């Protein structure tokens, strides 16, 4: 129903908000004061043309039923309901909707958003980078920033203005379905990588034609839900939220992130979407966030239908806006609700004005009224090269017994490589979540080239050295009945080396897909054991969305390479690493458990656990945070500090000698951890506070210097305040988070 007042009742328009020479704040004020209530309500709506209604089976949400909005409905959303934003629109529909927006009274352009979270991956043919989890193992801030830049150019070329990225969730329970979308388990590393990709997306000046609005999500502590259960409640105090989860968002705000998304989850019984303390007070007032907040998918209505903290959509809509959210993602009913709430005096129109102002200010800052599509060819040579370089830095060598790898290039002529496993030739598994395969709805369209599956990459690089490659899938990844193990054993009889590519698949990662059992699924384990029994060198390659509990692989494989979801060039890089054309330099951004029952197994644990371990599991992680091998090895010595006592606010300067004691040039990721030896609240055994990726030639040594402001050594005290407490600290520097490899030096913060 159209509530709009007749144009004749309205004042003549002051069109000076269209004057691009005016400051964004001035343009916002001029436009806002001329808007009707309906136009304001429309600006707060983000609409999807692809309707996805949750599918319930015996009362449980088990997925989505997809249907397409009719042309008339879509037209009505732009013309009669003044829709301010659409998401997941691609192709000519973007131009159609945008041209409709220019037929409206105020001609406010529609803001298009999409989940371009590892490249413009919903666009088949664009540059598809490694997933966030994969790229985070590069610890390469410049490479991650460049991935953001490339993504921004390719998304902007489609006429889309906003990506719902980066995910700043902290993946501390790997049973959670969305671990693949995160930068791992550490707040500091996530904050650094998140800031880097935000700067890549938004460029230095949002006004550039290829600048893209970033979106820090999912605010806040999503993924910390009890039991790793997606969107469930987490038992966190506000102090704990500040201590562990706020840092990445603080850094995102400091990096100028244009938008923030509130997640589905609840904290201690209050949905974050309805939590005014977290959204309005902490994010907007305390951190000074000036952009706008968008809810996740239909969060407002979930307050009624799922979390039952609102009796109806009217109440939920008012609650959502009052809490500090500005835009409603896919809660169409909130349009009428907003109008009715204001008309009946139940909601002060000032709440709408604040939200509309933030959205309009962002649109003006982006230059949306003047913006044209970036003229760039997707997946051009420069973009592909940036992808390849980041992928090369993202792989993690977890085992290399007796120096099996790299395979000897000079002797590779006639080398027979048998490649097996369900993920050896599966681009869908390799791409992971949030690609055209999975969104805006699941489909199986063939992926456009270029890309290399693991098999194709081994063939490509192996052929350069005369190796021959045979392949057999050997088993299914989910169905344990579906196995051809005898045939697999037959195949490897004539092989010189076995490469088994295992892991998980798209059906085991993402929303609604938490796992209680992190073991290799299907018949992967029996396949591996049969291959081990053939007595040939066994290289296991992991293609997976999250750490899996693979103690047998660690014990029995001769070499293990973690690739996670490695994007277009994963196979090529694997081939390069197998033959030593690329030296592996990645380090884990997330810990692996021996057993899913060991979760959470993150490295920065608090002290106090009686026995520090489960009776039936080792104390340490299967593979710890920060861990990764190389084809060379680095020796750390002579850790020294500028001084041993610091006033609060001074900067600690450290230097450590790192020697490349091997035969191959490579990069090393030097990591710096601290422990607060006595604190007013318990603090972790160690916390990452700095890192540096350094290139060191074979045989050479490098004095690595790193500075850390002592303000970084804060605690969140019992009153929830961020304070640096004087006293003794332990500085630890080394190649990963294991105590036994870290150089240690005590220092003091003075009163």
Query: Distance of CA 112 to CAs 163, 264, 686, 749, Å?
Result: 9, 21, 42, 49
Number of residues binding to ligand GLC, judged by CB under 6 A: 7
**Nearest alpha-carbon partner for 667 in 705, 695, 691:** 695
Minimum distance of ligand GLC from residue 86's CB (angstroms):
11
Site for ligand GLC in 59-88 (CB under 6 A): 87
Cβ proximity to ligand GLC, 115 vs 389, nearer residue: 115
Rg (the chain; Cα; Å): 27
Minimum distance of ligand GLC from residue 309's CB (angstroms):
19
Minimum distance of ligand GLC from residue 511's CB (angstroms):
6
Minimum distance of ligand GLC from residue 344's CB (angstroms):
31
Position among 112, 129, 164, 183 found at the interface with ligand GLC (CB under 6 A): 164
Binding mask 173-212 for ligand GLC (x = CB under 6 A): ----------------------------------------
Cβ proximity to ligand GLC, 87 vs 674, nearer residue: 87
Minimum distance of ligand GLC from residue 273's CB (angstroms):
12
Cβ proximity to ligand GLC, 340 vs 511, nearer residue: 511
Cβ proximity to ligand GLC, 327 vs 588, nearer residue: 327
| Element of type H or E holding 639 | strand 634-641
Cα gap 81→40, rounded to integer Å: 10
Do 707 and 726 meet the contact criterion of CB atoms below 8 Å apart?
Answer: no
Minimum distance of ligand GLC from residue 217's CB (angstroms):
6
Minimum distance of ligand GLC from residue 263's CB (angstroms):
7
DSSP string spanning 9-24?
A: GSPPP-GGGG-TTS-H
Do 672 and 706 meet the contact criterion of CB atoms below 8 Å apart?
Answer: yes
Do 137 and 71 meet the contact criterion of CB atoms below 8 Å apart?
Answer: no
Cβ proximity to ligand GLC, 295 vs 387, nearer residue: 295
Cβ proximity to ligand GLC, 262 vs 666, nearer residue: 262
Cβ proximity to ligand GLC, 132 vs 596, nearer residue: 132
Cβ proximity to ligand GLC, 164 vs 289, nearer residue: 164
Do 601 and 708 meet the contact criterion of CB atoms below 8 Å apart?
Answer: no
Site for ligand GLC in 85-114 (CB under 6 A): 87
Would the CA dihedral through 225, 227, 228, 229 be positive or negative?
A: negative
Site for ligand GLC in 347-366 (CB under 6 A): none
Do 347 and 338 meet the contact criterion of CB atoms below 8 Å apart?
Answer: yes
Position among 158, 296, 668, 736 found at the interface with ligand GLC (CB under 6 A): 296
Cα gap 263→261, rounded to integer Å: 6
Cβ proximity to ligand GLC, 24 vs 271, nearer residue: 271
Question: Which residue number has the CB closest to ligand GLC?
Answer: 164
Do 198 and 146 meet the contact criterion of CB atoms below 8 Å apart?
Answer: no
Position among 38, 115, 326, 504 found at the interface with ligand GLC (CB under 6 A): 115
Total residue count of the chain as it appears in this document: 751
Do 502 and 540 meet the contact criterion of CB atoms below 8 Å apart?
Answer: yes
Distance of CA 438 to the CA centre of its chain: 16
Query: Distance of CA 305 to CAs 3, 61, 312, 340, Å?
Result: 27, 12, 9, 20
**Nearest alpha-carbon partner for 458 in 417, 511, 405, 486:** 417
Cβ proximity to ligand GLC, 286 vs 511, nearer residue: 511
Distance of CA 103 to the CA centre of its chain: 38
Task: State yes or no: cis peptide before 104, omega within 30 of 0.
Answer: no
Do 360 and 32 meet the contact criterion of CB atoms below 8 Å apart?
Answer: yes
Minimum distance of ligand GLC from residue 403's CB (angstroms):
42
**C-alpha distance across the termini of the chain, in Å:** 66
Instruction: Work out the angle at residue 152's Cα, subtended by the Cα atoms of residues 146 and 158, and round it to the nearest 5 degrees.
Output: 145
Is 301 near ligand GLC (CB under 6 A)?
no
Minimum distance of ligand GLC from residue 595's CB (angstroms):
29
Cβ proximity to ligand GLC, 166 vs 593, nearer residue: 166
Three-class DSSP category at 542:
strand
Cα gap 216→715, rounded to integer Å: 24
Position among 297, 452, 646, 729 found at the interface with ligand GLC (CB under 6 A): 297
Cβ proximity to ligand GLC, 215 vs 505, nearer residue: 215
Do 549 and 595 meet the contact criterion of CB atoms below 8 Å apart?
Answer: yes
**Burial class, 721, CB count within 10 angstroms (exposed 0-12 / middle 13-18 / buried 19+):** exposed
Cβ proximity to ligand GLC, 230 vs 668, nearer residue: 230
**Beta strand 60-68 with 50-57: parallel, antiparallel or unpaired?**
antiparallel
Site for ligand GLC in 501-530 (CB under 6 A): 511
Tokens (6 digits) for 702: 């490098």
**Nearest alpha-carbon partner for 545 in 167, 148, 281, 3:** 167
Cβ proximity to ligand GLC, 85 vs 683, nearer residue: 85
Minimum distance of ligand GLC from residue 87's CB (angstroms):
6
**DSSP secondary structure code for residue 532 in this structure:** H
Minimum distance of ligand GLC from residue 564's CB (angstroms):
18
Minimum distance of ligand GLC from residue 718's CB (angstroms):
33
| Element of type H or E holding 262 | strand 259-262
Minimum distance of ligand GLC from residue 274's CB (angstroms):
17
Cβ proximity to ligand GLC, 87 vs 415, nearer residue: 87
Minimum distance of ligand GLC from residue 89's CB (angstroms):
12
Cα gap 378→275, rounded to integer Å: 40
197 Cβ contact partners less than 8 Å away, ≥ 6 residues apart: 144, 145, 147, 148, 165, 166, 214
**Nearest alpha-carbon partner for 300 in 278, 272, 277, 281:** 272
Site for ligand GLC in 210-239 (CB under 6 A): 217
Cβ proximity to ligand GLC, 115 vs 576, nearer residue: 115
**DSSP secondary structure code for residue 327 in this structure:** B
Cβ proximity to ligand GLC, 197 vs 573, nearer residue: 197
Q: What are phi and psi for residue 573, nearest 5 degrees?
A: -65, -35
Minimum distance of ligand GLC from residue 247's CB (angstroms):
20
Contact set with ligand GLC (CB under 6 A): 87, 115, 164, 217, 296-297, 511
């Amino acid at each position: 129903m159209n509530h709009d007042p007749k144009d004749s009742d309205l004042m003549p328009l002051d069109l000076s908000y269209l004057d691009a020479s005016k400051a964004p704040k001035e343009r916002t004020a001029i436009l806002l004061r001329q808007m009707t209530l309906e136009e304001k309500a429309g600006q707060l709506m983000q609409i999807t043309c692809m309707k996805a209604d949750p599918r319930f089976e015996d009362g449980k949400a088990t997925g989505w039923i997809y249907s397409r909005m009719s042309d008339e409905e879509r037209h009505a959303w732009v013309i009669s309901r003044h829709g301010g934003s659409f998401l997941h629109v691609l192709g000519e529909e973007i131009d159609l909707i945008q041209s409709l927006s220019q037929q409206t009274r105020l001609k406010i352009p529609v803001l298009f958003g999409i989940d371009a979270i590892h490249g413009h991956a919903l666009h088949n043919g664009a540059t598809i980078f490694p997933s966030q989890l994969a790229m985070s193992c590069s610890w390469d801030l410049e490479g991650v920033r460049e991935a953001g830049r490339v993504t921004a150019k390719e998304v902007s070329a489609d006429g889309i203005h906003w990506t719902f990225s980066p995910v700043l969730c902290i993946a501390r329970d790997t049973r959670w379905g969305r671990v693949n979308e995160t930068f791992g388990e550490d707040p500091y590393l996530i904050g650094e990588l998140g800031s880097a990709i935000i700067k890549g997306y938004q460029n230095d000046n949002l006004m550039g034609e290829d600048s893209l609005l970033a979106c820090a999500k999912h605010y806040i502590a999503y993924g910390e839900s009890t039991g790793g259960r997606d969107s469930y409640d987490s038992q966190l105090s506000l102090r704990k939220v500040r201590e562990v989860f706020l840092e990445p968002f603080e850094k995102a705000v400091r990096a100028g992130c244009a938008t923030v998304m509130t997640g589905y989850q609840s904290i201690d019984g209050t949905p974050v979407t309805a939590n005014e303390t977290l959204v309005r007070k902490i994010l907007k007032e305390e951190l000074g966030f000036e952009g706008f907040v968008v809810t996740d998918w239909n969060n407002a209505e979930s307050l009624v239908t799922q979390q039952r903290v609102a009796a109806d959509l009217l109440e939920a809509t008012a609650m959502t806006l009052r809490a500090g959210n500005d835009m409603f993602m896919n809660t169409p009913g909130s349009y009428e609700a907003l109008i009715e709430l204001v008309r009946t005096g139940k909601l002060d129109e000032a709440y709408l004005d604040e939200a509309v102002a933030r959205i309009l200010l962002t649109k003006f800052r982006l230059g949306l009224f003047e913006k044209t599509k970036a003229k760039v060819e997707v997946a051009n040579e420069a973009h592909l090269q940036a992808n390849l370089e980041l992928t090369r830095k993202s792989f993690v060598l977890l085992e290399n017994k007796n120096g099996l790898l790299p395979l000897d290039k000079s002797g590779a002529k006639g080398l027979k490589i048998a490649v097996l496993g369900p993920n050896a030739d599966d681009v869908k598994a390799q791409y992971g979540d949030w690609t055209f395969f999975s969104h805006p709805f699941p489909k199986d369209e063939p992926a456009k080239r270029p890309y290399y599956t693991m098999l194709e990459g081994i063939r490509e690089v192996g052929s350069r050295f005369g190796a021959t490659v045979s392949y057999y899938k050997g088993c299914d990844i989910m169905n344990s009945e579906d196995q051809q193990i005898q045939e697999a054993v037959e195949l490897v009889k004539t092989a010189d080396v076995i490469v088994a590519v295992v892991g998980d698949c798209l059906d085991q990662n993402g929303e609604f897909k938490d796992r209680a059992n992190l073991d290799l699924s299907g018949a992967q384990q029996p396949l591996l054991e049969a291959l081990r029994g053939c007595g040939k060198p066994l290289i296991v390659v992991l293609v997976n969305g999250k750490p899996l509990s693979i103690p047998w692989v660690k014990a029995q494989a001769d070499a293990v390479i973690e690739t996670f979801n490695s994007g277009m060039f994963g196979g090529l890089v694997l081939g390069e690493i197998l033959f030593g054309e690329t030296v592996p330099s990645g380090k884990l951004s997330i810990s692996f458990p021996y057993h899913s029952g060991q979760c959470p197994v993150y490295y920065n644990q608090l002290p106090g656990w009686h026995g520090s371990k489960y009776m039936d599991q080792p104390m340490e992680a299967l593979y710890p945070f920060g861990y990764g091998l190389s084809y060379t090895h680095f020796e750390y010595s002579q850790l020294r500090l500028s001084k041993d006592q610091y006033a609060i606010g001074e900067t600690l300067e450290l230097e450590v000698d790192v020697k490349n004691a091997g035969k191959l040039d490579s990069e090393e990721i030097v990591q710096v951890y601290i422990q607060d030896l006595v604190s007013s609240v318990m603090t972790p055994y160690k916390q990452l506070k700095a890192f540096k990726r350094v290139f060191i030639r074979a045989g050479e040594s490098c004095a690595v210097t790193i500075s850390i402001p002592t303000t970084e050594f804060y605690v969140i005290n019992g009153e929830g305040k961020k304070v640096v407490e004087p006293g003794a600290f332990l500085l630890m520097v080394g190649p990963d988070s294991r105590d036994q490899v870290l150089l240690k030096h005590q220092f003091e913060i003075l009163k």
